Amino acid sequence: MSYSTGRLRRTSWLLCLTVLWASGCATAGRGPQTGASRVLALTDADFASKIDAHRGVCLVDFWAPWCLPCSIVSPTVEELADEYAGAVRVGKVDTDAQPQTMARFRIQALPTLIVFRDGFASKIDAHRGVCLVDFWAPWCLPCSIVSPTVEELADEYAGAVRVGKVDTDAQPQTMARFRIQALPTLIVFRDGRPVKRFVGVTPKDALKAAIDEARKP
């Protein structure tokens, strides 16, 4: 995910570059299209299905009706929705009406614009079932000790438990979101929610016990 907050210096060209970076698409200049707005009105109830579960790039504008800078940014968001129609999903979250989504992404200033790409949100948050996620870094020696255990668990629970790894050097937003303060940190999720956390080199049996507990009906 990539964030931009509502500073006047963050103009439309920065938004374009951010979306281009996320999508890897160098041919965005299709020109604006006319007609009804292509911007989705997102709610607490449908954010997961429309953004988390989307396989591709999304741009989400967090705004409020009383926010003057939001009204300045809004036409740019509409233009991007037209220019990237069919390639990038664009949505808006009214933070006054959708407080849960605002809290989830820790929105502290308006407008805040977030670019999402296939990754943690779509693969873990939206997954219905049990996941094990290993937060690690290339320079972390204890992480290299735990890594073979994570690989073994991925094989043993293949088809039943989703296992993933987050390189915290490359994914600082995800690291910050889950308040990772030591490496490795391993978190067991159920239906997108953390249920058990381990810090440091953790025995395989302890991880298996936590996974098995999370899989119980």
Asked whether residue 86 falls in the same domain as residue 28, the answer is: yes
Asked whether residue 68 falls in the same domain as residue 33, the answer is: yes
Cβ(181)–Cβ(140) below 8 Å = no
Whole-number Å distance between alpha carbons of 169 and 179: 14
* CA-based nearest residue to 146, from 125, 169, 163, 162: 163
Asked whether residue 95 falls in the same domain as residue 156, the answer is: no
Asked whether residue 7 falls in the same domain as residue 100, the answer is: yes
Four-point Cα dihedral 138, 140, 144, 150, nearest 10: -90
Q: Return the minimum-mean-pLDDT range out of 2-6, 48-52, 147-151.
A: 2-6
Question: What is the reported pLDDT for 114?
Answer: 83
Which segments within 67-123 are labelled E, that is strand?
A: 88-94, 112-116
The domain total for the chain is 2
Q: Residues with catalytic annotation?
A: 140, 143
Asked whether residue 92 falls in the same domain as residue 170, the answer is: no
The mean per-residue pLDDT over the stretch 181-208 comes to: 95
**End-of-domain residue from the set 102, 122, 142:** 122
Q: Is the pLDDT of residue 130 over 90?
A: yes
**End-of-domain residue from the set 100, 122, 144:** 122
**The whole model's pTM is what?**
0.54
Cβ(56)–Cβ(65) below 8 Å = no
Asked whether residue 66 falls in the same domain as residue 163, the answer is: no
Per the structure, the complete domain to which residue 199 belongs is given by 127-215
Question: What is the reported pLDDT for 181?
Answer: 93
Asked whether residue 11 falls in the same domain as residue 113, the answer is: yes
What CATH number is given to the structural domain containing 21?
A: 3.40.30.10
**End-of-domain residue from the set 122, 149, 171:** 122
Q: Is the pLDDT of residue 13 over 60?
A: no
Residue-wise pLDDT tens digits, 18-52: 555 555 554 444 444 445 789 999 999 988 788 87
Average of per-residue pLDDT values in the chain? 83
* pLDDT cut 70: percent of the chain above it: 80
Asked whether residue 112 falls in the same domain as residue 140, the answer is: no
Asked whether residue 114 falls in the same domain as residue 142, the answer is: no
Asked whether residue 58 falls in the same domain as residue 138, the answer is: no
Cβ(155)–Cβ(115) below 8 Å = no
